[in-house]
Amino acid sequence: MDFFIITSLSKDISKIDLIGILIGHLIFGVALTQLLDWTWLKKLMSEEDKTRMLKSYTWKDLLVDGAIVTVVLGLIFLIISIFL
């Protein structure tokens, strides 16, 4: 039943509305990143821990990270395709 609500909503939203929503979220994300203080991230791990972690990073970890990014991008494109 929820699917029919989404498809009827997609008929009401135009491509310009969707593009405006995406650009608005992008602008908000950039502005929020600039406003927040991210210096605490540098203090999370010592240099020794960072070096040890990077040395233990393997190609399997890279595949898993790539798969996660692919799934997230696929979901984003799926949501966009519903509204187009």
Residues 84 and 79: their CA atoms lie apart, in Å, by 9
Tokens of 59: 């190609």
The string of pLDDT tens digits covering residues 1-49 is 455 555 565 566 777 877 888 899 999 988 888 888 878 778 888 888 8
62's tokens: 């890279």
Residues in the chain: 84
**CA distance linking residue 80 with residue 84, whole number of Å:** 6
**DSSP character for 40?**
G
Please name the residue that has the structure tokens 């989404």.
6
* Residue 53 φ/ψ, nearest 5 degrees: -65, -45
- The whole-model pTM stands at 0.44
